[in-house]
Amino acid sequence: MSDQLGLDLPEWRPQVVCGVDEAGRGPLFGEVVAAAVILDPQQPIAGLGDSKQLSAKVRDNLYDLIWRQALAVSIGRASVAEIDQLNILQASMLAMQRAVEGLAVRPAMALIDGNRCPSLSCPAQAIVKGDAKETCIGAASIIAKVTRDREMQAWHDRYPYYGLDQHKGYPTKQHLLALAEHGVSDQHRRSFGPVAAILEAQP
């Protein structure tokens, strides 16, 4: 959808700022997903903020509003193989870089949730807890989390015994017990300690 947004705007505007956030640093399973969002100041969206503090229903409603009303939205990812090869921090930076570079409108500035910035073609500023401070980062937080949560639901259909629909791949007791019983899937992050320990224990 991002390639259909904002094409009638000038390529560069000083006031065009994108918010960037990611979802999925902590899980043992699946990709890390990042989102970049440029909001439309003419169409403000109420209720944007840290996606983790919102109910699933509110997140879903805001997700639809953001896609409809934002000037540009883009999603970037880093695969499980890239996470294992690069480490989760560098893979998260890569996913955010891909999200920003995929925007149909070129931003003059990127506001990044956290304390580090990926390498971008525009200036960037890291903001700790930025998803609660900047609406554009809050919007990116919602897009990234809802996207990843829905993908975990789809993976649950393939691997129902891990309980991905409940914990979204995070290392809960349920997930660790399922890993011990059923083994490691092709979407588990082998560089993460609990997964590596199970692999080492296998004959």
23: pLDDT strictly greater than 70: yes
Please report which residue ranges of 49-134 form alpha helices under DSSP H.
56-69, 80-86, 88-101
Q: Is residue 33 one of the residues assigned to a domain?
A: yes
40 within a domain of the structure (yes/no): yes
Domain presence at residue 65: yes
CATH of the domain at 105: 3.30.420.10
Asked if the structure places residue 161 within a domain, the reply is no
Q: Is 80 a member of any domain?
A: yes
DSSP state of 24: -
Is residue 189 classed exposed, middle or buried when 0-12, 13-18 and 19+ CB atoms within 10 A define those classes? buried
Report the percentage of the chain scoring pLDDT > 90.
Answer: 87
d(CA 193, CA 181): 17
For 162-195, how does the pLDDT look when each residue is reduced to its tens digit (9 = 90+)? 999 999 999 999 999 999 999 999 999 999 999 9
pLDDT band at 25 (very low <50, low <70, confident <90, very high): very high
In a domain, 56, yes or no: yes
Model pTM above 0.85: yes
Give me the number of domains the chain comprises.
1
pLDDT for res 2? 37
The whole domain housing 20 covers 2-154
Does a structural domain hold residue 194?
no
178 located within any domain: no
